[in-house]
Amino acid sequence: MMSERYLNAGVLIALLIVPIWAHLADAPYTITLATRVAILALAAVGLNIALGLGGLVSLGHAVFFGIGGYAMGVLAHHAQTYTALDLGIFTVDGTKSMPIIWLVAVGTSAVAAVIIGALSLRTSGVYFIMITLAFGQMFYYFAISWSTYGGEDGLSIYLRNDFPGLNTLIPIQFFAICFAVLSLVLLLQAGVSRSAFGLALNAARQAPTRVEAVGLNPKRLQFVAFILSATITGLAGALFADLNRFVSPSMFSWQFSGEIMVFVILGGVGRLCGPVVGAAVFVLLEHVLGGLTEFWHIYLGLILLIIVQFARGGIVGLLATDRGQHG
């Protein structure tokens, strides 16, 4: 048992040390696993802002993950085929620059979140879950039928995109980028949860009528949280596509929406590093048990069952001495 602050530091240091060790031991596959953890964690950190801080059970966050993925796929595809991207009114060139791709991923995710959020937030509870799920399915089937960009087969990108000053094809360097983005986002989240907005959002989740009674609009607070949340998951999508150098409609699948929700619950809803722990445990189980049996999800399900039954604060809640906002 330790304070959550130390636990968070420990989690991030562990996530940093493993790939450094793997780099020195020349084990690139382990670095890739760690990179996968960092990116999936980032996607779940995004969801945790909607779910953990805002109380919005979104079963459609794969939409933003997919949008981020396709932002990368489309831009890199046009860059590698030297074709212009026709936007109707004007055309732009593709790009292999990660920072530009990230901006586009964040921007398009935000636009999608404004539309989806404005419609979904008219409902709550089960209906909110269903509407977000429905949006996810719409995007999924749209991607499947989008033949310009590979339809069901997806898009392959031959070379990883560029980041100024780094060689992204070297696994440890790409890991460093993903880890830095994750750390920065966690830092921002920690700041936001201590801010005026964070206080009001937290209250809007727990006691919405109380928030109204002091003259604030709980839905509007949740709406902004939903948009913030979507941009982070969108950014993760762009990184994920770069990790695999491949984008496909499966990034939009509802299974993925469920998976990142599992990360959040496993690690601890509303806990800063809950999603990181959750994603790490998931990737580890997938790697270790996945080698033993094809049906490793059974064991994941069992663990999830135990967590939900006996440790509502998730793994972080179990290990940290601080009481969480959900415990």
Partner 1 sequence: MADPILETRGLSKSFGALKASDDISMTLKPGEIHALIGPNGAGKSTLIQQISGALQPDAGTIALMGQDVTGHSMQARAKAGLARTFQISNLVMKDTVLQNVMLGALGASGRVWRFFSPILSNQSLLDVAEHALERVGLHDHRDRRTDELSHGQRRQLEVAIALTLKPKAFVMDEPMAGLGADGSKRLTGFLDTLRNEAPILLVEHDMDAVFALADRISVLVYGRIIATGSVYDIRANPDVRAAYLGDEA
Give contact residues for partner 1 (rule: CB under 8 A). 191-192, 194-200, 202-203, 206-207, 209-217, 221, 224, 323, 325-327
Min CB(211)–partner 1 separation in Å: 7
Min CB(198)–partner 1 separation in Å: 7
Residue 92's identity, in one-letter code, is: V
Interatomic CA distance for residues 144 and 253, integer angstroms: 11
Buried b (16+ CB within 10 A) or exposed e, 226-261: bbbbbbbbbbbbbbbbbbbbbbbbbbbbbebbebbb
Question: Which of residues 225 and 241 has its CB atom nearest to partner 1 in the complex?
Answer: 225
Min CB(228)–partner 1 separation in Å: 9
Interatomic CA distance for residues 251 and 241, integer angstroms: 9
Min CB(189)–partner 1 separation in Å: 10
Interatomic CA distance for residues 301 and 69, integer angstroms: 27
Min CB(41)–partner 1 separation in Å: 22
Q: How far apart are the first and last CA of the chain?
A: 16
Question: Which of residues 166 and 207 has its CB atom nearest to partner 1 in the complex?
Answer: 207
Question: Which of residues 69 and 208 has its CB atom nearest to partner 1 in the complex?
Answer: 208
Question: Which of residues 182 and 200 has its CB atom nearest to partner 1 in the complex?
Answer: 200
Question: Which of residues 134 and 224 has its CB atom nearest to partner 1 in the complex?
Answer: 224
Question: Which of residues 214 and 292 has its CB atom nearest to partner 1 in the complex?
Answer: 214
Interatomic CA distance for residues 61 and 229, integer angstroms: 9
What DSSP string runs through 205-249?
A: HH-HHHHHHTT--HHHHHHHHHHHHHHHHHHHHHHHHHHHTEE-G
Min CB(323)–partner 1 separation in Å: 7
